[in-house]
Amino acid sequence: MTHPRITDSHCHLDFPDFDETRPEVIARAVEAGVHRMVTICTRLKNEPLVRKIAEDNDPVFYAAGTHPMSVADEPMATVDELVALSQHPKFVGIGETGLDYHYPADSAEVQKTSLKIHVQAAQETGLPLIIHARAADDDMADILSTAYKAKPYTCVMHCFSSSAELAKAALDCGFYLSMSGIAAFPKSQELRDIFASAPLDRLLVETDSPYLAPPPYRGKRNEPSYSVHTAQKGAEVFGIDYAEFAAATEANFDRLFAKAAGWSPA
């Protein structure tokens, strides 16, 4: 039986959770119809490992940046460094970067500086910016939209679970919202309503694995194959069949991550 093809637009295959089973995890994803995965490097010192996972596995692409929750402990990225990394044929996005004020935000200023560097790298490379946003909606909307007005760029709000206001600010700039397992949690109706009011041609699906497994795997280690369960919930939210939702998110991924869409094995 062939499954409709989808892409897990955000996972962390370099995390130790996958050290013992990485080839099996990737094979299970492909078998489930998840024919592409973007694995995300969150600390630039780990980029060689993340790059190797992409080089060794045809279905895997990668992106790199400094996660906002790591930015206080890591050397500040530079635009030149990110632009240089972007030359790799399987490097398809800038980040994840963003703002996270969930914990006492004594690093808020350094997070903003880092975010602006990543935005500039996205503007210079033409690759999509991958944003992590938590408890920072006003600053996030202000920085992203101000930069967009100065020089347009493309962007995905990864694992979107913020306010309707931030969703609107992102969509107004032509950005994309990515649906994670959170959207399939029983108590996430308000979030599902935000997705339902967004244009279907601006949505992606992801796992953010090893985190945030959707039902029926909630509480267990997440993996790329489970993005199917999130996509099934997405189809339900839009009142369309799974194949149609899968095709829409594939077209969206190809449009946003054009470098991945154009890649072919040597």
CATH code for position 205: 3.20.20.140
> Do 171 and 181 contact (CB within 8 A), yes or no?
no
Q: Which domain holds residue 52?
A: 6-262
pLDDT, mean over the chain: 97
pTM > 0.75: yes
What is the structure's pLDDT at 103? 86
C-alpha 229: how far from chain center: 17
Contacts of residue 88, Cβ cutoff 8 Å, sequence gap at least 6: 51
Say yes or no to pLDDT of 105 above 70: no
Q: Residue 265's pLDDT band (boundaries 50, 70, 90)?
A: confident
For the chain, the domain total comes to 1
Asked whether residue 1 is domain-assigned, the answer is no
Q: Residue 131 pairs with which residues in a beta bridge?
A: 97, 157
Please state the rounded mean pLDDT for residues 54-81: 97
Is the Cα torsion angle 162, 242, 12, 59 positive or negative in sign?
A: negative
Please state the rounded mean pLDDT for residues 204-225: 97
Q: Residue 171's pLDDT band (boundaries 50, 70, 90)?
A: very high
What is the structure's pLDDT at 62? 99
| CA 21 – CA 235 distance, rounded (Å) | 30
Judge residue 74's burial from the number of C-beta atoms within 10 Å of its C-beta, 0-12 exposed, 13-18 middle, 19 or more buried: middle
Angle between the N-to-C axes of helices 164-172 and 137-150, in degrees from 0 to 180, rounded to the nearest 10: 10
Between 132 and 266, whose confidence is greater? Answer: 132
Task: Look at strands 34-41 and 91-100 and give their pairing.
Answer: unpaired
Asked whether residue 42 is domain-assigned, the answer is yes
